[in-house]
Amino acid sequence: MLNISDIMQTVNMIDHQHLDIRTITLGISLYDCADPDIRTCARKIHDKVCTKAAHLVETGEVIEREYGIPIINKRISVTPIAQVAASCSGDDYAVIGHALDSAAKECGVNFIGGFSALVHKGFTEGDRKLIASIPETLSTTELVCSSVNVATTKAGINMDAVAMMGRIIKDTAELTADRDGLGCAKLVVFANAVEDNPFMAGAFHGSGEPECVVNVGVSGPGVVWRALQDVRGASFDVLAETVKRTAFRITRMGQVVANAASERLGVPFGIVDLSLAPTPAQGDSVARILEAMGLEVCGTHGTTAALALLNDAVKKGGVMASGHVGGLSGAFIPVSEDEGMISAVKSGALSLEKLEAMTCVCSVGLDMIAIPGDTSSDTISAIIADEAAIGVINNKTTAVRIIPAPGKNVGDNVEFGGLLGSAPVMRVNSAGSGEFIERGGRIPAPIHSLRN
């Protein structure tokens, strides 16, 4: 048998250090739901999702009990709706959003992702209709998540889409003004979006994916933080090794659960996303890991280097623990969902500019950040353009999930509740970017996109 200390270490990780499976996400292809009539299309989508995901939640709960590991979320991702609905005659895709919402509720999942369009090189008619339907859809549904990919390293940056998404984010915030702009918390603008991401709000089931697939996202910032307490003052070599070993264990657990879910659901296993995803709970923070490396507050000088080490060591430790690694895989730095990040912003040590720098070396982008409600759509588009440029040039995924909270100013607080947490409203640069955004067109792909 294994020795007592190994066994107790695992039990303590689960009981006291918030080790959990963050999400089991079932990816479902909806290509066969296309129909010229939008209402028929919506009905087909509803029925297919309900059939394929009928046992998802129940299976997740059985695995949870048998393995003694909390599985926080059971979710669904679907084919980008802009592609499924392209042949529909109607203009208003919110009908399909409502079908997704009601299917998600029937299945008992807590989010469904894929109200999405991929427009990095240009728009189809379906893409335009979908993007125009985002504000209404997000304001009239509860569980639907939306994402739009506006740039790739191969195609460059679609600046028309960037400009459009600034306006869509503003409209979404206005339509959900009674909930502090909550709709924007379910909307991600991507560069280099991945097809198998199990995490929300950016999950969708990509066009290269099979009919149905199980992807699993693990989480364990608290476990990494605890491990670093034992190596205070040690060199970076020791630090990196400690993170790697811990990431290995976390990811192995994810792989075991992924195999079990795949077998019991009769659906092929896709990937384990070996991300460190924080929650607003005490002891489940990525910011606190960076501080445990020796920084007084997350956001001070040295934070980018600390995050780079963490992100890399998580990948190196995790990659050997799983048969297939995918998704976003790395450290997440959402502000509202991380107790340490919130505290760092409130103390003045963590600014939007520093967060942008941090996104150059971690797995996502500017995530769950509240900004003043009177921020112009041009400025939001310019923030998206900066993030997209970082993603395109560095050949990595970046994203913007930003909330211009209506009626709120710097220093106010925005409450989203649950896993989405709360966010202090952050300062944005007040100088304009309007003329830059108005140019339109595409920023060409970088030279290193020509690798063939």
Gap between the Cα atoms of 408 and 373, Å rounded? 5
Q: If binding is defined by CB under 8 A, does position 68 make contact with another protein?
A: yes
Instruction: List the one residue out of 145, 202, 137 whose CA is nearest residue 172.
Output: 137
Q: In which residue are the tokens 């609905």 written? A: 85
Instruction: List the one residue out of 29, 50, 32 whose CA is nearest residue 41.
Output: 32
End-to-end distance of the chain based on CA atoms, in angstroms? 52
Q: Which stretch binds another protein (CB under 8 A): 135-143, 252-260, 355-363, 406-414?
A: 252-260
Q: Which stretch binds another protein (CB under 8 A): 247-255, 280-288, 308-316, 401-409?
A: 247-255
Task: Judge contact between 324 and 271, C-beta under 8 A.
Answer: yes
Instruction: List the one residue out of 398, 385, 400 whose CA is nearest residue 442.
Output: 385
List the x/- string, 4-23, binding to another protein by CB under 8 A. Answer: x-xxxxxx---x--------
Handedness of CA 428, 138, 366, 295 (dihedral sign): positive
Instruction: List the one residue out of 386, 231, 255, 208 whose CA is nearest residue 309.
Output: 231
Q: Which helix (H) or strand (E) holds 328?
A: none
Q: Binders of another protein among 286-325, rule CB under 8 A? A: 320
Instruction: List the one residue out of 110, 126, 103 whose CA is nearest residue 75.
Output: 110
Q: If binding is defined by CB under 8 A, does position 87 make contact with another protein?
A: no
Q: What is the nearest approach in angstroms of another protein to the Cβ of residue 252?
A: 4
Q: Which of 79, 219, 255, 398 binds another protein (CB under 8 A)?
A: 255
Query: Which stretches of 290-419 are assigned E, i.e. beta strand?
Result: 366-372, 398-405, 413-415
| Smaller CB separation from another protein, 67 or 123 | 67
Q: What is the nearest approach in angstroms of another protein to the Cβ of residue 325?
A: 15
Q: Which stretch binds another protein (CB under 8 A): 70-78, 201-209, 253-261, 405-413?
A: 253-261
Q: If binding is defined by CB under 8 A, does position 164 make contact with another protein?
A: no
Q: If binding is defined by CB under 8 A, does position 67 make contact with another protein?
A: yes
Q: Binders of another protein among 318-337, rule CB under 8 A? A: 320
Q: What is the nearest approach in angstroms of another protein to the Cβ of residue 376?
A: 50
Q: If binding is defined by CB under 8 A, does position 2 make contact with another protein?
A: yes
Which residues in this chain contact another protein in the complex, by CB under 8 A?
Answer: 1-4, 6-11, 15, 65-69, 249, 252-253, 255-256, 320
